[in-house]
Amino acid sequence: SPNVSDIASIGDDLFVSVNSAIFHSTDHGETWDEQAGLDYANRFMNLDGILFALGDESRIGRWGNGKWMSFPYSMESLLTAIHDTLFSCEWEDLVCMSPDSGATWEEISRIPEYNIAGLFSFGDTLFVLADNDSAGWPIYFSTDRGMTWLQTSGEFQADDAGFPFSGQEGAEVLFCGNDLMNVSTDDGINWQTIARHP
């Protein structure tokens, strides 16, 4: 009973995560081979043409030269990018940065709240969704690539928190929770709930 959790493509290569293992196809999905080198991958992310696999063992892999390469040390399975710089989280409240597609990482800051539930980028702004064990989850933003953080006006109910951010720069930013839709018209600084899914 295979459990396909995600699918991705880059060039002519197709990838699926099946029961946390990665399978690869070079013939448009006619045949599949299991990939070695990265275990427990459950979702993919394509950032500026570089394919990453995120796992539930705090591992991140990067596809290159026909194989998966693990990052040099464990990171949380949260990853985003601003232009050619990657951002991830370690130890639940520590934000890290990589200027070289994940080959090396440096710690840049901690957020005020413990336990980052979501990490996103929109234009040149970073956002984190924090789980502080309260009724609402606060959102923090950084306009200086994670060096400093400010809290937005919005927060989301813990049981409705979700991802991803979507939208275009200069337009409304839409954030979808499990059954809530939240919108910002000022690039994510202020938020309001606009609808509840049926």
Q: How far apart are CA 167 and CA 173, in angstroms?
A: 5
pTM of the shown model:
0.69
Mean pLDDT of the 131-140 span: 72
pLDDT tens digits, one per residue of 172-197: 666 666 566 777 777 777 777 776 65
CA neighbor of 62 nearest in space, from 25, 35, 83: 35
Q: How far apart are CA 44 and CA 53, in angstroms?
A: 4
Cα separations (Å) of 49 from 7, 69, 81, 101?
15, 16, 11, 11
- Which residues have C-beta within 8 Å of that of residue 188, sequence separation ≥ 6? 122, 125, 127, 139, 141, 152, 165, 173
pLDDT tens digits, one per residue of 88-120: 876 667 888 888 877 788 888 888 766 777 788
CA neighbor of 188 nearest in space, from 115, 113, 129, 148: 129
Please say if the pLDDT value at position 157 is more than 80. no
CB 73 within 8 A of CB 60: no
Longest dimension (CA), the chain: 50
Phi, psi of 160 (to 5 degrees): -115, 5
CB 87 within 8 A of CB 101: no
Helices and strands, number each (H, E), in the chain: 0, 20
Sheet containing strand 94-98, strands side by side: 79-82, 85-90, 94-98, 106-110
Q: By CB neighbour count within 10 A (0-12 exposed, 13-18 middle, 19+ buried), where does 106 fall?
A: exposed
Cα separations (Å) of 178 from 21, 82, 159?
26, 26, 8
User: How does the average pLDDT of the chain come out, rounded?
Assistant: 76
- Give residue 4's pLDDT band: very low, low, confident or very high (50, 70, 90): confident
